Structure 1
Amino acid sequence: MKHQRLKSLYLVVALLFLGRLSLTSSLHSDGAILLRAKNDQLDDPNGLLGDWVETSHNAPCNWTGITCDPQNDAVVSIDLASVGISGVFPAGFCRIPTLRNLTLSDNNLNGTLSSESISLCSRLHLLNLSFNFLHGELPAFTWEFVNLSVLDLARNNFSGEIPVSFGRFPGLQVLSLFGNSLSASIPEYLTNLTELTRFELAYNPFKPGPLPSTIGKLTKLENLWLPNSNLNGDIPDSIGNLIALKNLDLSTNSLSGKIPDTISGLKSVVQIELYDNQLTGELPDTFTNLTSLLRFDASQNNLTGKLPKSLAGLPLESLNLNDNSLEGEIPEILSSNPALTQLKLFNNSFSGTLPVNLGRNSNLEDFDVSGNEFEGPLPPNLCYRKKLQNLIIFKNRFSGTIPASYGDCDTLTYVRIFNNELSGKVPARFWSFPGLGFIELKNNRFEGTIPPSISGARDLTSLLVSGNNFSGEFPSEICGLQELVVIDISRNGFTGELPSCLTNLKKLQKLDLQENKFAGGIPSSVSSWTDLTELNLSNNNLAGKIPTELGDLPVLTYLDLSRNLLSGEIPAELTKLKLNKFNISDNKLEGKVPPGFNQEFLISSLMGNPNLCSSDLKPLPQCPKPKPASIYLIGILAALAILLLGSLIWYWVVKTRKLHPFGSKSKRSWNTTTFQRIGFNEEDVLASLMEDNLIGAGGSGRVYRVKLKSGQTVAVKRLWGGNCQLESEAVFLSEVETLGRIRHGNIVKLLFSCVGEDFRVLVYEYMENGSLGDVLHGEKGVLLDWPKRFAVAVGAAQGLAYLHHDCVPAIVHRDVKSNNILLDEEFRPRVADFGLAKTLHKEGDRDVMSRVAGSCGYIAPEYAYTLKVTEKSDVYSFGVVLLELVTGKRPNDESFGENKDMVKWVTEAALSSPEQGSGDSGSSYDVLGQLIDPRMNLSTRDYEEIEKVLNVALLCTSAFPINRPSMRRVVELLKEQYPLARPK
């Protein structure tokens, strides 16, 4: 019996040992599979998988990204998201029989995904390969994938059609294919996936086709996200069967027909986005059951009829119906909504009066009913809760006065009330709100004065009050508003003299004072108006001489001084201006017309000055010929001329021998081209190109800071020579051709160029604060606050928009980055370094266009496979600059993690933020807090503005060029005074 028990004990021990040996063997087998797949199919440039060592303790369960079943230590999950691996799809991982979840998102995987390789993974429950560089056609999945619940292949470059096998996953809950290049239409068989909760196919260039009519079969669906999917036809009635749906986004397609009545079946829906389609007919009156709906956007369609009471009565936070053909009155019930914060009804045919209590019961922030036929008084309670920021009511027939209560609405930042029938005096405090940035009251019947209290509006950029009955003197307090860019007070009754301090407004770009009763002279100290492009002082009573200093304004293109009492001669300095509009007619000017204005097409601009004369411009009288001088006088002058000429030649020879910046040649051997008025010559510059003045070197040359004898400081760029001569010549010609004809306040000014046999030099205006990159990343020891950063964003966008849209032919910068945005003494931006800029030439010039693609971290993703650079490439790079302004980080900051750049880092954070319409503003601020430069002290308003800039940046850095806005649209988006809807 004793021996029997001992034998049994040995048997148990043996079995335990064999079991342990079997388990150890299994562990070694899983580890070997992982290592083999890693070594054969993946690269780990960042070394984050360095702990994948088979001999390590508890291998492979303690390896990076590996999760094991705690009961038997079998590998069940591999999560290598965002570790920077590259290579092909590691199908070998799927040889582990217990593997259930495989996540390889946000890496650099490339190549194709074949049906053969994917077939090894049939036991998976989750497969996530999103945000990689996989391409080719989608693989066909076998019938064995019965357990797959999540399939995420978004943000790759898959093309072709969606295979039939994608409609056969019996338990699939998430299908995400957005952001690829799928080109066939959306197939009907995808609606067989009846367990789906997320259906995301947005941003694919699908073949135009309808939303599947059987979409209603997906009754468990919570998110239907199909913007930019080339959908057409009607929205099917079966849409109403999606009783679990929370987000319906069919925006930016070509859907037509009516919004179906069955939409009332979406009882769980929080957000409905139907904007930018071709929907017609009336809005259905079946919204009563949508009690969870917070956001409804059907703007930019062809909808007709009235605003249904069933929709107006919902507790919506946001109602956007702009750009339709809706009509009728606004239901009174809308004013009882306590949740309403955003109401956009602009560009419709609504009429009648607005509900008197609109705004009284809600925290209304954005109100835009412009472009309608509203009449009667303005609702007095729009700002009852002191939340209103944007008041936009232009192009209606509102009458009466601005309610006195609006004078207490100190939250206003953006006001547009023009083209109405309003009258009376504007409340005095309405002019002075501290956050007011834009006010437009033109073409009404307002009267009274602009009060001195306008000095309180420190953020004001635009003052537009033309076409009213304002009178009195224009207050000198306006001169304290240093952010002013546009002043238009034309066609009023202002009197008195022009405040001389107007010349202190250094950011001013347009000053229009025409058709008033101003007297006195034109201010002469205008050197601060370096950004002024338009000056219109016509139809006043201005007297005195035309200041010669006007000829020094560097970007002035529009000058109208007609119909005044100006006297004296026409300053010859005005001929230096590059004017598109010039008019000095109907004054009291006299003397000879300067040669630069002796042009027939300018005759109408000179008429009405009886004492003007010209030698050859009819019908102006001829100028009297000078009386002949005596022979004696001629002789003296000739002798003096010879003596002077000899002295100059002697001085030139001596001076040339002393200068050896580029060799010892005694004879001048260079040519110069001057683009701006300068007070120095090339010798002053060339003599200073020494190592002590060197401030930087780039891909195309060295940059020097040169302080001239006159006191002026310039930046001098000497392009590389020697072996790079041909390349530098192409760069030089490109810069000169591009910059020599540009006049814009946000483009760095090229003063002149100088070219010799072995050197090429460009001389620019000097920017005191260096580059945005230097300042933003701390190298200058200066911290930019948010208002300055936002001003830089807008200014730089305006400069790039000018290059893209106002230059003929259009100009692509090709190297947009923070180091190529320079800042003057007041941190105003100038887009710089056109060594890489090229005009968009014909196909034959493609060789010049393809030499340089930009700088690391700023290059658009499509360049990797197209090798083409377009305006949309600049837009992408500018989006990265916007992200730099928000985060304060470099595009490839180490804090993003291995092999991750700024765009990926921010995009991930943005995708993790709450859906629009959730109402969770606190969570939204938490997400922003992770991204925003912590060195800035911010207000609530700053957060809202930063969110807007962040959303613009995400639009600009879209993976697909077609989805990026133009630079002109970027400027508009940045200037809009309300946050944008966050890009999905």
Structure 2
Amino acid sequence: MSPSLRPPSSNMFLSLFSLIFFLSGVQSDDRQLLLNLRSSLQHESNPPVFNSWNSTNSICNFYGISCNSNGSVTEIDLSSQNLSGVLPLDSICELPSLHKLAFGFNSLHGRVAEDLRNCVNLVYLDLGNNDFSGPFPDISPLSQLQYLFLNQSGFSGTFPWKSLLNMTRLVQLSVGDNPFHITPFPTELVNLKSLQWLYLTNCSLGGEIPAGIGNLTQLVNLEFSDNFISGEIPAEIGNLGKLWQLEFYNNSITGKFPVGFRNLTSLAKLDGSINQLEGDLSELKFLTNLVSLQLFENKLTGEIPPEFNEFKKLVNLSLYTNQLSGPIPQKLGSWAEFDFIDVSENMLMGPIPPYMCSKGKMHKLLVLQNKLSGEIPATYANCTTLIRFRVNDNLLSGTIPSGIWGLPNAEIIDVELNQLEGSITSDIKNAKALAALRAKRNRLSGEIPREISEATSLVTIDLSENQISGEIPMGIGELKSLSSLYLQRNRLSGSIPDSLGLCTLLSDIELAENSFSGNIPSSLGNLPALNALNLSQNELSGEIPASFTLLRLSLFDLSNNQLTGPIPQSLSIQAFNGSLDGNPGLCTLDAINSFRPCAAHKGIPKSVRTLIICFTIALILLLVCLALYMKLNKKEKYRERSLKEESWDLKSFHVLSFTEDEILDSIKQENLIGTGGSGNVYKVPLSNSKVLAVKHIWNMDPAGGKKSRSSTPMIGKHNGKSKSREFDAEVRTLSSIRHVNVVKLYCSITSEDSSLLVYEYLPNGSLWDRLHASGKIELDWKKRCEIALGAAKGLEYLHHGCEKPVIHRDVKSSNILLDEFMKPRIADFGLAKIVQPNVSHDPTQVIAGTHGYIAPEYGYTYKVNEKSDVYSFGVVLMELITGKRPIEAEYGENKDIVSWVWSKMQREESIMSVVDSRIQDMYKEEAVKMLRIAILCTARLPALRPTMRSVVQMLEHVEPCKLVGIVISKDGSEEKMQDPHTPKLKPST
């Protein structure tokens, strides 16, 4: 039969057969390439993302895969799938029809290979939010690209801007948040006239904004914040009539808003904060579609345009720290669901606008440090959404509306330094979220309401320098979070309530210059955190409580009262000289200063009194020594019996060159080198000349009972043997870790009663010892750099290199040990936490860490994540740079090294003044560069801190371990350091 006479069904059959044969060939090739991809990536999805990638499924049914009508793979989209590993681009780019490749929001690492150039048909490429390293390759052949997302992916080196010249179809380009080398603002971009979205934030751009930016008339979003851009805003930017968002905060841009800026009438979000902009805001009065306007920390002058009254979409306005004057427009915020205003630190005058909370959505009212006058509008008494209400340091007068005191969501109510009148009302019982109540230096009167005890979140109360009368409410002891109580210079009377001693977190009590009478409560002497106590210029009587001998105060003043009786010897020191003057009824036991001798000693010769005192002290010491000897003897006998008689279970994690007996025989007093909350540490020399460190943790107390809850809690069994929480944490964490900057755990040895952890011995002690202890070893800048980088790499491994991230939770200089070459090791994992999937919080709800290193979020949440370690490491960096401890008296009350560094920067003092004087002058600029990294690490919000991987990358550019792109004046005196990621957070507000 001729082909022309063949039945139609036969032709169709052959065509279908040919198509199936062709498709099977295509699918077979693509399948193998996809399987190569799967084998290169690790995954932690649940259910696993690659479950559908099997031999029975068509590849077009693989999860994340799309095909065309020919069965060829056109799209791979595996974004946000917890993938790690290295991308096999040599395989992926062999897929001939591939036009979309999306791997954003994973944990991919390694370098992106040059093979990416072979994906010539790509239209969409997303590698953003990963952990790559090295430079990004030249992708000039990818001329079809329309969407390119590379933001926050760890790329470094110089970005290949020239490779974009051929990509004239690009619609979206996002390469921000990568530590590239500093380069001028790329002029290559001005020819990409199809661009609608351009994200260049935090990618080390310098130079000036090119005038050609006006060519990009299709732009809807333009962001180039957190860079080193200088010069003025070009007038050509007024050509971008479609622009919806413009962000360029934290640069060095100067000059005025150019004429023509008013043409950006589509603009909804404008943020040019932290620059050096000058002139007035007149060009902005035409931008009636603005939703958010943020221009804080500039040099702007003139008035806020009255046209802002009619901005019907405006919800955010932040203009603080400028030189603005005149009134705030009175209808401001009355049209939309206004969220916040911060116009603090200007020279604004007139009344506070009354209608900003008319829609009931306002969260922050911040107008502090201006010259505002008039009354506080009564409308804010009903603004229950307010979280921060700060109108302090103005010229406000009149009575505070009663509802202000009881705002249910307010965390800060700050009205201090005004001329306000009236009293604190009982409404304060509704202020359940209130942490800080500040009203000092006003004209407030009346009594402190007893309902204040129901505002149980209060941490700070400052009502000083008013005309408040009556007594301190007895219920004040209900304020368990209270840390600071300032009531000085009022008209308070009555006795100081004994219940004040129930506020166990109190660190500052200031009650001076009132009319308090009666005895001083002895309960104040039992406050464990008390740092300052000032009860001077009152009418207090009776004796100084004996409990005050337990206090360790930096400020103490009981002068000008009516106290009687003996002065406790612990208060008879030069540091408190004058703190007891004006109490003629006081007497002294040792004839100090001008106080008369106590009657009990009259007629007894001084030599006899001295003999009696010495004899009494000697007798007490003898009894104490006898008790200690008996206790230690009992403990040592118990320990000796336990070590010799117990059966031990050894688990090794490395090849061992010693025996169990050799370790046990060395756990004795002469080898003890340290003690701590989680056990004793012994230096153990071995017969082969090797030296080890052994931590000995007792699971039983010396009397043979289990440890109490105040000691190390028991948490389970290990081969029938109990383990302490610290022991379990350290073994679980360290047994699987292999990293040069993490201390090596050789083995664990456990018995029913105690546990031993055998570590490598680090002969140079801790970084704390080297920086702060007596006899410290001098650390030059090179050593400090090496220690900082090494410790950072150790933490980076814990956070990013382990199968499950490990949070140390107690990063501090005393937990960074140094070997014989001064190389650092992260140590002491007694508080470590392995991050478990689908566990959102730490169920222990215990503040973990050490005072001075603890991240601020512990003040309001018990959630733990890696960013808490980053904060603590930032504190360590500050120690290395300044040579100071985390807590020093010179920082001021309730201040630490972080707040001290920030205060220095904000006052524009010489940056060099914070650098350790022992660091050579030639390296001080490099120290300032490292200080910037430390400031980034200690941002208040965890989300704004870098990862440890990013910290390592930044430290690797600091000489001599070179951080490029930091503009510091030669003498360091003109730079005002800022956290470039907190433009919307103001420390003072």
Q: Same fold (TM over 0.5)?
A: yes
Please, which moves more after superposition, 104-113 or 955-964? 955-964
Aligned residues of 2:470 and 2:494 also touching (Cα < 8 A): yes
- Alignment pair present for 1:101 and 2:100: yes
Partner of 2:311: 314
Q: Within 5 Å, which residues of 2 pair with 1:956-967?
A: 956-958=945-947, 960-961=950-951
Q: Mark the CA change 1:487 to 1:175 in structure 2 (over 3 Å): closer, same or farther.
A: same
* Deviation digits for residues 74-131 of structure 1 (CA, Å, limit 9, x no counterpart): 211112232424124423212121111111223343333344x122111011111122
- The question of 1:584 aligning with 2:580 is answered yes
Aligned to 1:927: none
- Distance in 2 (alpha carbons) for counterparts of 1:28 and 1:430: 73
- Residue 914 of structure 1 corresponds to none
Provide the C-alpha distance between the structure 2 equivalents of 1:37 and 1:426, rounded to a whole number of angstroms. 68
CA shift digits 1:774-820 (9 cap, x unpaired): xxxxxxxxxxxxxxxxxxxxxxxxxxxxxxxxxxxxx999989999x
Amino acid aligned to 1:291: T
Counterpart selection for 1:521 from 512, 519, 522: 519
Report the CA distance shift for 1:684/1:739 in structure 2 as closer, same or farther (over 3 A): farther
Cα RMSD of the aligned pairs, angstroms, is: 5.5
Shift of 1:579: 7.6
Residue aligned with 2:74, SS:
strand
Corresponding letter in the other structure for 1:515: E
**Residue number in structure 1 paired with 2:564:** 567
Task: Quote the Cα distance in structure 1 between the aligned partners of 2:794 and 2:565.
Answer: 49
| Equivalent runs, 1:532-611 vs 2, <5 Å | 532-553=530-551, 556-573=553-570, 583-588=579-584, 590-592=586-588, 607=593, 609-611=595-597
Write the letter of the residue equivalent to 2:24: T
2:20 aligned partner: 20
Hey, what's the Cα distance between the residues in 2 that align with 1:536 and 1:94?
A: 74
**Equivalent of 1:953, from 942, 957, 960?**
942
Distance in structure 1 (CA, Å) of the matches to 2:583 and 2:51: 86
What aligned pairs does 1:458-497 form with structure 2 within 5 A after superposition? 458-497=456-495
In the alignment, residue 295 of structure 1 is paired with which amino acid? S
Q: Provide the C-alpha distance between the structure 2 equivalents of 1:879 and 1:642, rounded to a whole number of angstroms.
A: 43
Distance (Å, rounded) in 1 between the aligned partners of 2:496 and 2:443:
23
Q: Which runs of 5+ in 2 are unaligned?
A: 645-664, 678-696, 715-722, 731-752, 775-790, 800-806, 837-848, 870-937, 955-977
Amino acid at match of 1:583: S
Residue 721 of structure 1: CA displacement?
Answer: 6.3
Aligned to 1:35: 35
- Kindly report which structure 2 residues correspond to 1:110-259, keeping only aligned pairs within 5 A, or say none: 110-115=109-114, 117-143=115-141, 145-183=143-181, 184-206=183-205, 208-259=206-257
Shift of 1:3: 9.0
Shift of 1:518: 0.9
Matched residues in 2 for 1:515 and 1:639: separation?
43
SS across alignment from 1:255: strand
Equivalents in 1 of 2:328, 2:567: separation in Å? 58
1: CA distance, partners of 2:357 / 2:617: 84
Aligned 1:381-460 pairs, distance under 5 A: 381-384=379-382, 386-403=384-401, 406=404, 412-429=410-427, 433-460=431-458
Over 3 Å counting, the alpha-carbon distance change for 1:581 and 1:509 in structure 2 is: farther
For residues 891 and 61 of structure 1, do their structure 2 counterparts lie closer, same or farther at Cα, with a shift above 3 Å needed? farther
Whether the aligned pair in 2 keeps the contact of 1:461 and 1:483 (CA below 8 Å) is yes
SS at match of 2:514: coil
- Superposition deviation, residue 142 in structure 1: 2.6
1:171: Cα distance to partner?
1.1
Three-state SS of the structure 1 residue aligned to 2:606 is: coil
TM-score (ref. length: structure 1)? 0.67
2:300 match: secondary structure: strand
Moved more, 443-452 or 566-575: 566-575
Query: Deviations 1:289-312 (Å, cap 9, x if unpaired)?
Result: x33211111111111111111234
Q: 1:339 to 1:171 in 2, by over 3 A?
A: same
Which residue number in structure 1 is paired with residue 281 of structure 2?
283
Does structure 1 retain, via aligned residues, the 8 Å contact 2:435–2:460? yes
Change (3 A) 1:607 1:429: farther
**1:292 aligned partner, one-letter code:** N
One-letter identity of the residue aligned with 1:343:
I
Contact 1:817 1:878 in 2 (8 A): no
1:724 counterpart = 2:759: yes
> Given the superposition, is the C-alpha separation of residues 835 and 181 from structure 1 closer, same or farther in structure 2, using an over 3 Å criterion?
closer
Change (3 A) 1:580 1:135: farther
Q: Check if 1:379 corresponds to 2:377.
A: yes
Which shows bigger deviation, 525-534 or 297-306?
525-534
Aligned equivalents of 1:509 and 1:653: distance in 2? 36
Give, in whole Å, the separation in 2 of the partners of 1:85 and 1:246. Answer: 36
User: C-alpha separation between the residues in 2 aligned to 1:99 and 1:856?
Assistant: 42
Alignment of 1:905-924 (within 5 A): none
- Matching residue of 1:847: 823
CA distance in 1, matches of 2:857, 2:360: 37
Post-superposition shift, 1:521? Answer: 0.9
SS state of the match for residue 224, structure 1?
A: strand
- Cα distance change on mapping 1:189 and 1:510 into 2, 3 Å: same
Q: Distance in 2 between matches of 1:221 and 1:245?
A: 6
Whether the 8 Å CA contact 2:344–2:366 is kept in 1: the answer is yes
In the alignment, which of 687, 695, 702 is matched to residue 687 of structure 1? Answer: 702
Structure 1 residue 362 displacement after superposition: 6.5
Amino acid paired to 2:243 = L
Aligned equivalent of 1:785: none
Structure-1 separation of matches of 2:950 and 2:530: 37
SS of residue in 2 equivalent to 1:305: strand
Percent of paired sites with the same residue: 23
* Contact persistence 2:560–2:581 (CA under 8 A): yes
Separation (CA, whole Å) in 2 of partners of 1:960 and 1:303: 34
Equivalent residue for 1:838, pick from 799, 802, 814: 814
The verdict on how the C-alpha distance between 1:348 and 1:165 changes in structure 2, with shifts beyond 3 A counting, is same
Instruction: Answer whether contact 1:142 1:165 (CA < 8 A) is retained.
Output: yes
Q: 2: CA distance between counterparts of 1:364 and 1:5?
A: 83
The answer to whether 1:272 aligns with 2:253 is no
Q: What letter corresponds to residue 188 of structure 2 in structure 1?
A: Y
CA distance 1:545–1:643, shift in 2 (3 Å): closer
Letter in 2 for 1:549: S
- Superposed counterparts of 1:504-903, under 5 Å: 504-526=502-524, 529-553=527-551, 556-573=553-570, 583-588=579-584, 590-592=586-588, 607=593, 609-611=595-597, 624-627=605-608, 658-661=637-640, 687-688=702-703, 695=714, 696-697=723-724, 724=759, 726-727=761-762, 837-838=813-814, 846-849=822-825, 885=862
Secondary structure of 1:164's counterpart equals helix
Compute the displacement of 1:348 (Å).
0.3
Give secondary structure in 2 for the equivalent of 1:583. Answer: coil
**How has the CA–CA distance of structure 1 residues 273 and 153 changed in structure 2, closer, same or farther, with 3 Å as cutoff?**
closer
Separation in structure 2 between the aligned mates of residue 836 and residue 629 of structure 1, nearest angstrom:
46
**Shift in Å, 1:837:** 4.2
**Amino acid of the structure 2 residue aligned with 1:22:** F
User: Displacement, 1:467?
Assistant: 0.8
Distance in 2 between residues matched to 1:312 and 1:626, nearest whole Å: 84
The equivalent residue for 1:916 is none
Q: Distance in 2 between matches of 1:325 and 1:459?
A: 36
CA offsets, 1:544-582, max 9 Å, x none? 1111212334x643322222222222223558x998998
| Farther-moved stretch of structure 1 (514-523 vs 434-443) | 434-443
Hey, what's the Cα distance between the residues in 1 that align with 2:266 and 2:440? 45
Kindly provide the amino acid, as one letter, of the partner of residue 252 in structure 2. Answer: S
CA distance in 2 between partners of 1:426 and 1:219 (Å):
57
Q: State the shift of 1:468 in Å.
A: 1.1
The equivalent of 2:5 in structure 1 is 5
- Cα deviations by residue, 1:842-875 (Å, 9 ceiling, x for unpaired): 999842455689957689xxxxxxxxxxxx9999
Residue aligning to 1:899: none
Would the aligned equivalents of 1:28 and 1:54 in 2 still touch at CA under 8 Å? no
Residues 607/225 of structure 1: CA separation in 2 closer, same or farther (3 Å cut): farther
